[in-house]
Amino acid sequence: MMEITLNHYLILSTLLFAIGLIGVMRRKNLLMLFFATEILLNSVNIAFAAISHYYGDLTGQMFAFFVIAIAASEVAVGLGLLIIWFKRTNNIDLDAMTSMRG
């Protein structure tokens, strides 16, 4: 209980990942969906850093850096697209994005 092991960090990471999954499932607003994806990426980062620490290997931290870079570029492109969509339709609900429906 008092000694923090790798399992503690991995369980925390899973908990946060599950919270992010709940967000992805229940959100309808696309901006809130982006928040949930940020939570997903961050929970994975915790797992990478914990494994890196407990195995004495730096590879985990390297992967965490690249995950952060990907998250940053995802936000930039996603928000740009979202702003264009909002200017056109005045709405960012997922249910309204049905222009590709056959």
Partner 1 sequence: MFEAIAFYLFAFLTVAMFSITVLTSQALYALTSLAAGMIFISAFFFLLGADFLGAVQIIVYTGAVMALYAFGMMFFDTTRELKEKNSSSMIVFGLSGLAALMVVVIFVTPIASEHISAIYPMHENVGNTQEVGMILFTKYLVPFEVAAVMLLVAMISGIVLAGKKMDRSLTQMSEEEIQSMQESDKKAVL
- List the interface residues with partner 1, window 63-102 (CB under 8 A): 64-66, 68-77, 79-84, 86-88, 92-95
Instruction: By CB under 8 A, name the one of 44, 49, 97, 99 that touches partner 1.
Output: 49
Residue 8 to residues 39, 54, 65, 68, 100: CA-CA distances in angstroms? 18, 12, 22, 23, 44
- Residues numbered 12 to 41 that lie near partner 1 (CB under 8 A) are 12-23, 25-29, 31-32, 34-36, 38-39
Using CB under 8 A, count the residues that bind partner 1: 74
Instruction: Closer to partner 1 by CB, 95 or 100: give it.
Output: 95
- CB-based contact 92:31 (threshold 8 Å): yes
Instruction: Closer to partner 1 by CB, 31 or 102: give it.
Output: 31
Report how far residue 2's alpha carbon sits from residue 85's, in angstroms, rounded to the nearest whole number.
50
Strand partners for 29: 93
| Shortest distance (Å) from residue 101 CB to partner 1 | 16
C-alpha 75: how far from chain center: 10
